[in-house]
Amino acid sequence: MSNSKGSHRAARGSGRTAVARPPAPRPPAPLPAAPASVPLHERLTLAAWAVHAPTVVDLPSPGRPAAPDAPGGRAAARRAARRHRAPVRPESLRRLVPQALVVAFLAGGTTAFVACDKAVTLDVDGRPRTLHTFADDVDELLADEGVTLAARDSVIPALGSGLADGDEVVVRPRR
């Protein structure tokens, strides 16, 4: 072996390797001409079947006729498919009922919370404050807030009156 570059290239190869290339794709076969009596959408469907092999989506379901063969056309095939749908399984109903109950209780609880919550202004001895309460009447509101009344204290509206959202309760001690 000599030290010249040529001999090294010859020993290692020229550096170029031949790559096998796939043959050029053949043009598709001409489509068979459909008679003019066949509607355009069916001619296009037939042309699509000629271009590609049928897939799982294209094949009819087992036990059911394909849409073009069904008497009455596509609408009849759709009706037949609706009739043959699988019924709802009891296992799915067993899971669905508890979930629906949870959703119903959450929705009902949230609705009750929003409906029963009242924003009320309580003014005790000239110091007003706005608070949110679930109290139904003035007695319950004062008890919840820890307001004690003496025999001569004035309460407006009167004790036992019902509360609504936006009401104002005024407590004035008599001196």
pLDDT tens-place string over residues 38-60: 676 666 665 555 555 555 555 55
Q: Percentage of the chain surpassing pLDDT 70?
A: 55
CATH number at residue 126: 3.10.20
Q: Is the pLDDT of residue 64 over 60?
A: no
pLDDT at 74: 79
Q: How confident is the model at residue 104 (pLDDT cuts 50, 70, 90)?
A: very high
The arithmetic mean of pLDDT across residues 24-46, rounded, is 64
Contact 164, 116 (CB under 8 A): no
- In a domain, residue 136? The reply is yes
- In a domain, residue 98? The reply is no
Q: Is the pLDDT of residue 71 over 90?
A: no
Lowest-confidence pick of 49-58, 107-116, 163-172: 49-58
- In a domain, residue 86? The reply is no
- Ranked by mean pLDDT, which of 21-30, 37-46, 61-70, 148-157 comes out on top? 148-157
Q: Is the pLDDT of residue 70 over 70?
A: no
Cα distance between residue 168 and residue 120, in whole Å: 6
- In a domain, residue 94? The reply is no
- In a domain, residue 126? The reply is yes
Question: What does pTM read for this prediction?
Answer: 0.41
- In a domain, residue 21? The reply is no
Q: Percentage of the chain surpassing pLDDT 90?
A: 22
pLDDT at 123: 93
- Total tally of structural domains belonging to the chain: 1
Region of 73 (left: φ > 0; alpha: ψ -120 to 50; beta: rest) is: left
Q: What is the mean pLDDT of the chain?
A: 75
Which range of residues forms the domain containing residue 164? 117-172
- In a domain, residue 33? The reply is no
Q: Is the pLDDT of residue 142 over 80?
A: yes
